Amino acid sequence: MFYSVSIIVVILTVTADCGKVLVFPHDGSHWVNMNILIQELHSKGHHVTVIRPADSWYIKEHSPHYDSITVDFAVGGDEAFFNVFISRQLQIRRERSPVWTRFSLDMELKDRFSEMHRKVCEMVINMIEDQKLINSIREAKYDVLITDPANGGGVVLAHYLALPMIFNVRWTVHGEAHFAIAPSPLSYVPFPLAMLTDKMTFFQRLYNMLFYSVRLFLYRRTVGPHYSALCNCYFGPDVDYFELFQAADIWLMRVDFVFEFPRPTMPNIVYIGCFHCKPAKPLPADLEDFMQSSGEHGVVVMSLGTLVGELPSDIDVEIAAALAKLPQKVIWRHTGKRPSTLGNNTILVDWMPQNDLLGHPKTRVFVSHGGTNGILESIYHGVPIVGLPLVFDQHDNLSRMKYRGVATVLDIATIDKNLFLEALREVINEPSYKINMQRLSRLEKDKPMQPLDSAIFWIEFVMRHKGAAHLRTESYKMSWPCMKKKKRD
């Protein structure tokens, strides 16, 4: 009888502590790290429900870790969209002068993402106007909504449902997340994408300010009309959509100050850099045999992320020709036609266990496009980088790594086999790259609490306390006197 009662008490206690989590994610590579949070929440006994569009690229409808709500709407940010977009970006970079290229890339980015955010807003409208769906969500009585504010759909939905809100974030629809909430003096806080450091000359500070102003203008013009119209429709003209972003309870920031430059922060920003990184697991037998066959020379791991289906054939040929001249073995994540210059030392794979390969003792260098996930895995495992940035924040991410002496960076649009081979040999043979990266790895791992544990603690904290308003500054509610007078009138 005693043991039966004890078991019942334990079950009731665990059930009482478990919550209901609603997730409005961002598709693509952003889903990879959101899914890690979801799996960990599931392992803690929480019930997770994920909202996804009908044409979702990464987010599966069925999972052992979550239930899903599939909205009968196509957002359009799928693999085909990004393949066309990346190809267009490379074409512009190869045809234009530097100044005109920068402008053309920004305009292309603005137009493409304006359309994507318009569709996100339409998806939210479809959800709210579907009374059966929205009532079922209300009746489920979720404790918190977690969203990636790279799109604003989750922000609007959380406000509509009156749910506490947590961001899994580095980028919002307005740009880098710190600039939406934390003091950001442009004299020593470089705006991401400007490819500056915190040690700026006067003219670099001037450039930083101008770059920030232009980018902020573009962000507002790209997403502002869509989300402002959405907020005006459901909340009235007194609710500013930007304030809804700033009102999030906790910001789980996917970087930390091993990667980020020191800067002012806020008490509701929780740094969880490398939360997705883990000690390497054993490789499949065929990959392990290949790694061991490299002998003392080791292995080059190359991946340009999941946004690129295949590079232009002439770039593929130059890259493969350079890799063929290395004494190292090479594992290249590659889809599409096999390059004619591919060497016997290189294998092509459709998918690779990237974290486990980077953690293998035979890995000498990582050839990367500079996505945040891959950069942080390189830091965690102490593997130096040869960077081939493509789009978005990748140039700036790799610029930071170059500044820290752990990477060299090339322009993939103008790459040739000699430049690429020289960069590879430099990073492999110059000890400073490895030494500097191993130092960053030690710093990254020396923490009082593991980043994933910290993320889960703060999610559960918000669930227990129905928010975290005591950590949130009220400065975002300040408005100009003329605006206040207008509202009173």
DSSP 343-407: -TTEEEES---HHHHHTSTTEEEEEE---HHHHHHHHHHT--EEE---STTHHHHHHHHHHTTSE
Instruction: Give a yes or no: residue 49 inside a domain.
Output: yes
Residue 484, number of CB atoms within 10 A of its CB? 11
Q: Which domain holds residue 246?
A: 20-275+451-468
| Residues 313 and 264 both lie in one domain | no
| Residues 396 and 427 both lie in one domain | yes
| Residues 216 and 238 both lie in one domain | yes
| Residues 293 and 431 both lie in one domain | yes
| Residues 406 and 266 both lie in one domain | no
Q: What is the pLDDT of residue 392?
A: 79
Q: What is the pLDDT of residue 418?
A: 94
| Residues 313 and 349 both lie in one domain | yes
Cα(179)–Cα(186) distance, integer angstroms: 10
Instruction: Give a yes or no: residue 483 inside a domain.
Output: no
Instruction: Give a yes or no: residue 311 inside a domain.
Output: yes
Cα(282)–Cα(180) distance, integer angstroms: 41
Instruction: Give a yes or no: residue 143 inside a domain.
Output: yes
Closest CA to 88 of 107, 61, 74: 107
Instruction: Give a yes or no: residue 476 inside a domain.
Output: no
Instruction: Give a yes or no: residue 11 inside a domain.
Output: no
What's the pTM? 0.88
Residue 122 in tokens: 């339409």
Q: What is the pLDDT of residue 18?
A: 86
Phi, psi for 264 (deg, rounded to 5) = -60, 150
Instruction: Give a yes or no: residue 280 inside a domain.
Output: no
Handedness of CA 374, 246, 229, 483 (dihedral sign): negative
Per the structure, how many domains does the chain have?
2
| Residues 266 and 235 both lie in one domain | yes
| Residues 44 and 171 both lie in one domain | yes
Q: What is the CATH number of the domain that holds 321?
A: 3.40.50.2000
pLDDT tens, per residue, the chain with 489 residues: 555 545 544 444 444 468 999 999 998 888 999 999 999 999 999 999 999 999 888 899 999 999 999 999 888 766 666 666 666 667 666 665 555 555 666 666 667 778 888 999 999 999 999 999 999 999 999 999 999 999 999 999 999 999 999 999 999 888 899 999 999 999 999 998 888 999 999 999 999 999 999 888 888 888 888 999 999 999 998 888 888 889 999 999 999 999 999 999 999 999 999 999 999 999 999 999 999 999 999 999 999 876 665 677 888 999 999 999 999 999 999 988 899 999 999 999 999 999 999 999 999 999 999 999 999 999 999 999 999 998 778 999 999 999 999 999 998 888 899 999 999 999 999 999 999 999 999 999 999 999 999 999 999 999 999 999 999 887 766 665 444 444 433
Q: What is the pLDDT of residue 14?
A: 44
Q: What is the pLDDT of residue 242?
A: 87
Neighbour-count burial of 18, counting CB atoms closer than 10 A to its CB (0-12 exposed, 13-18 middle, 19+ buried): middle
| Residues 264 and 289 both lie in one domain | no
Instruction: Give a yes or no: residue 226 inside a domain.
Output: yes
Which residue is it, tokens 């409808």?
61
**Residue 257 zone, left/alpha/beta (φ > 0; ψ -120 to 50; rest):** alpha
| Residues 383 and 252 both lie in one domain | no
| Residues 319 and 216 both lie in one domain | no
| Residues 295 and 354 both lie in one domain | yes
